Structure 1
Amino acid sequence: MPYRAQFAELDPENCRGLSAVMQLNDIDHDLSCEAADPRSFGALTTDHQHIDLVHIDIQGAELRLLNDSSVRDIMETRVYRIIVGTHSELIHKKVAHLFRHWIPIFNLPVNSSHSRCFGPHLVKYLFSPLLFSSGPKFPGPEDWEKARETGCNHETPHGRVVHYDGMLILDNPVFVEASRAFSLSDAHLRISDLK
């Protein structure tokens, strides 16, 4: 089926990397190397009456975007699913409240061990591109074990996953039947009849 991916990415290095990945994989896309805010969101979505998925992970600025009435109107009338990375308990609760009438697919609160999750065992992974000219140091088995010991994980139907931030995955009830909604426990793709 025809598709087009739309991106807003503020960090110049990430923007260049994203552009390279899209070109290497021949993915039809638009890329705006600026902050995801109501103006840029409107510009990216203006030509689209149907939007399958909006993924928002904007490092604590989620409410600034989602509280905007023009953004909410687009979400309510054109977006089928949203994935929102949340970066504090307050943001998580407020985003969940804003979309309380949507169908919850996944509701993962911010890890209560969040402050411990950025300990020395993960510094080499998270910050090594900034600290070491030799390139990134990727986590090994000892790092993942330490993260689990620290409580920086959650249980899923498919096993334990290390995480720090929260996440909400929600389907729009305007387009998706609640009785046929997808679940992370599903082993096979479930297709809802569109309303």
Structure 2
Amino acid sequence: MRNSNKWLAAICFAALAGCSSTTGASVMTGGHDGHGQHAEPAAPLAAKANIINGKGETIGMAEFAETPAGVQIRLQVSGLTPGIHGFHIHAKGKCDIPDFKTAGDHFNPQMKKHGFHNPQGPHAGDLPNINVGSDGKATAEAIDKRVTLVRGKPNSLLNSEGTSLVIHADPDDYQTDPAGNSGARVACGVIG
């Protein structure tokens, strides 16, 4: 009797050990779906924008990723005039050439004034200027803590009207409402 109990205990222990051993790669954050199946982990929130110029030519791309600090924006563009350019998120998901006015005003769900140096600002869509090199290229990275990629939130970039990323001809002075005296819109990309 003792041997059969030891044998049964060994089988139960082995079975339990096999069921409880997992690797980091196989752990599902979503648990079970209620039907005995493992739920897939939630995909990270991300979006992209293909950047076009006033002729409709693709000149770059921006990538957006939700992070604990806010939405991370990575931009790579070419074919721009060298120098400092204003760079903003606009309130409409339209980039009609040649002037991109269909992108609307800056994304501003909190109804603030424009600019980091404005005591009543900034807009949710205000971003730091970008520096375009002598070769017409720019790479930039920014974190916008005033926006999200979570759908349904008032500050979501993925809302029913859409949003867009706009590059302006001139630098943003970070205080003049409504657009920091940043001049004409020279490039645009719909965020989605």
Name the one with the larger helix percent. Answer: 1
TM-score interval (norm. to shorter)? under 0.3
Larger RCO (CA under 8 A, 6+ residues apart): 2
Normalization by structure 1: what TM-score? 0.21
